[in-house]
Structure 1
């Protein structure tokens, strides 16, 4: 479970025509190389020179502008395993090569594989621990250097060496927690009573008031088509995040994730928990045709930093929080649009923000508009490409419905193409996107019961719980145009069965 080497390099800018790349940092662990040589013998493939590795990696990832279609690299039959790739060099092929991409930067490492793969069948990635450890190390290294430019990284080479010496001494990742590694680099090790056992991932103990901060963030992703032959689709999912500042080396927290007694009580289907969770109750009680959600009891030892305690999904949502219709008619020079939004009565009518954005693609900017909203206000984005309807903090309390009519005039299309040019969205093929956020509410009714929170060893603490409900990818397609959708090939399925 060791790494043969770690590299950081710059990547060419998209569309710039510049294919130059700089190697900012490299570290090869010779002890691991010697071990691989002993294990593989004649099948051992040494690491290539740094520049050759950079060239091969950029070619494999398609950053080389001059490279044309290559069957080995670009064919549809090739199985994608990102963030793992294979590169071919003059000394042989290297696999697995783990990568993490950021704008302008590329982090890369090659983990050691002790099983023989030369000329034989490769083991599944899940059976190569070095891949997971290498990816985790690259992610924490990217977080450490996130705010730095390539020039600043060059001036902090010594810091990167020090970081890797604590996170992965001799090429073996032992600590991939950013705060923990930084604490070790600053030599801020806190003394611990002999009666307590301090974990390696928590070198600094908390001193001060005991506090627990819990946040439930729930998301609704939806696509509405407003067509009889196309069904709307949506997903409801969420996360429970935690920040615990507790005295002691290994505090233990137990809590219940339950539901509010009023409003929606939708069961949580899947619960994906953080590795720090020691036990979790994931049972769902079924009574006849109804499903009664039961509290999920979690017991965990929290890390020092803010972390996601669990992810969950909800599949029993029957209707959307906001039903909408969007109708656009006209030509390239002028459009008439009508939009309606209806708030579900079971959703809290109190928004931190709520607005409908209507982008227009493959057209010129909006040069004039007339609108008659029955609620809220309208405006144009600074680039005059998006028509924005700000609904405000509340829908009308009686009807819970708002509507807008508008007439828009467009200027000539600008050249070259802008970010608002999409190949499908031409003519009347367009959509509106709804953005909203509701605080102290979740559509599923999910909440953390404050009375269930227990800490061992016992300590008085300040508990803060927050709930928020947000839209993401909440689109309403124009009912007068074509839409992007897909359906399973039913005829093909019948032929197979």
Structure 2
């Protein structure tokens, strides 16, 4: 079980005070739910619908399913209606004037979406898990020295708690004492990458690497075209100061790429098309994970042309490959009693060509229709 997203909302703001999305969980949820998947709406729409659902903002019009006095509310889980469908379950907790929200994804029973008014939380362990995460988040806010006044959110502690307790959206520890020991905020030169909660000592660096591979089969024949496939991977390894650094980069391709074969990793937050051959990727770095894969479908010529030609000449004395030989004792010359006879043999190449070390014939075979029918009948 994992969380698709976490929010901290205030009734006084139209946007979340804090939000953290987990694209890898979102991609897994889209894959497992199929047609039942409901994507998360934009932040402004999410906050509006959430405040209306909990009764902190008027909806403008009366909706019986939402505003009826007989409506059964299963606290702390809510159904949140969006233009794409119903988000379920949105787990909510109040803490010091803030609304803490979490949207879980159940890997074991992902397609269980019960009716709005009839649900048993005992059958939804993902709700209990989300509630445990929010409890730890509330404890983090209450214990912070920076949140003495109501409405003041200790952003540093919140970011640290989410980074340590929810790596890639999967809760590992909701105890703030454990999270504090793993990712304690240290002044000075300590570096804390998002993929490693332990403090890191050293220079901040971002290492980007493009690995491009080519597959080619060259036939050197007029009737057979050479085949070429070029594909590559963009890798990033970052050790940057800060708990949640965001990195953006521009990716430029040649005219042969044209962007048609670009596939980004779910961990990439946003892809912006700057032009037909250039893109901007925005992401949170992880430990040497690929950012994107691409292929170049318009490439037709291999980068290196080669010819394998060894069309071989050899001569072996006193040898025949078939084993044929002449018996010298059997030679008889009728006109002379004694004749010196010499017997020799040699094995010589005539037309001996070596090509295609894979053993595949690159020349199409011509076959008549009648012969083809006979072969099909025999098979």
TM > 0.5 between the two?
A: no
Q: Give the number of the structure whose residues are more often strand, by fraction.
A: 1
Range into which the TM-score falls when normalised by the shorter chain: 0.3 to 0.5
Q: Please report the TM-score for the alignment, with normalisation by the length of structure 1.
A: 0.33
Identify which of structures 1 and 2 has the higher relative contact order when contacts are C-alpha pairs closer than 8 Å and 6+ apart.
Answer: 1
Q: Decide which structure has greater helix share.
A: 2
